[in-house]
């Protein structure tokens, strides 16, 4: 896969990434390449659960949303990306002060796109893989937003 996308497109996707629920979760775009999207979040109290661990829903949302944006990097601008389904495994407890999510397209279809997301917990500069997801996405022309 050609690694480049236009600077304009990357800037658009970076801008578009953090709206609504994602802004509420304070996730931010980090690195954008063709077929790849990386995001990050600085962990605050409202990302945790009662026992201090980062909530599974934070990691799941990040894995899903970032996977969606990895798919955005390979479709043309008049396409929208929908999540059909995802599955996420929580591999280790997450309790660090930031998370990084790396999403890669592993199947580049014209309609069905599959991406894989890995969420890393950053603790004192060291990264630990804490969650892994496979996400099934669908590219739909913006004027035909019906699965």
Q: Which residues bind its own copies (CB under 8 A)?
A: 16, 19-25, 45-51, 55-58, 60-62, 64-65, 80, 82-92, 106-107, 109-112, 114, 116, 129, 132, 134, 136, 138, 145-147
Side-chain-side CA neighbours of residue 107 (13 Å):
11
Question: What does the DSSP assignment read for 96-127?
Answer: SSEEEEEEEEEEE-SSEEEEEEEEEEEETTEE
Q: How far is the CB of 136 from its own copies (least distance, A)?
A: 6
Residue from 128, 104, 130 nearest 116 by CA:
104
To its own copies, the closest distance from the beta carbon of 3 in angstroms equals: 19
Tokens of 93: 């407890």
Residue among 139, 80, 144, 131 at smallest CA distance from 107 = 139
Closer residue to its own copies (CB): 4 or 67: 67
Shorter beta-carbon distance to its own copies: residue 61 or 70? 61
In the complex, least distance from residue 146 CB atom to its own copies, rounded to whole angstroms: 8
For its own copies, the closer of residues 2 and 147 by Cβ is: 147
- Cβ at position 142, least distance to its own copies in Å: 9
Nearer to its own copies, 14 or 56 (CB): 56
Give dist(CA 147, CA 140) in Å, integer: 8
């Amino acid at each position: 896969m050609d690694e480049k996308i236009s600077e304009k497109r990357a800037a658009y996707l970076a801008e578009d990434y953090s709206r609504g629920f994602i802004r509420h979760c304070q996730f931010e775009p980090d690195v954008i390449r063709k077929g790849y999207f990386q995001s990050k979040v600085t962990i605050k109290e409202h990302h945790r659960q009662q026992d201090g661990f980062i909530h599974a829903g934070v990691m799941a949302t990040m894995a899903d949303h970032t996977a969606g944006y990895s798919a955005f990097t390979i479709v043309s601008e008049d396409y929208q990306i929908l999540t059909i389904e995802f599955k996420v495994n929580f591999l280790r407890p997450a309790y660090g002060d930031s998370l990084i999510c790396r999403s890669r397209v592993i199947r580049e279809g014209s309609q069905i796109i599959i991406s894989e997301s890995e969420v890393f917990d950053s603790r004192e500069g060291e990264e630990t893989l804490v969650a892994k997801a496979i996400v099934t996405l669908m590219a739909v022309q913006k004027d035909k937003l019906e699965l």
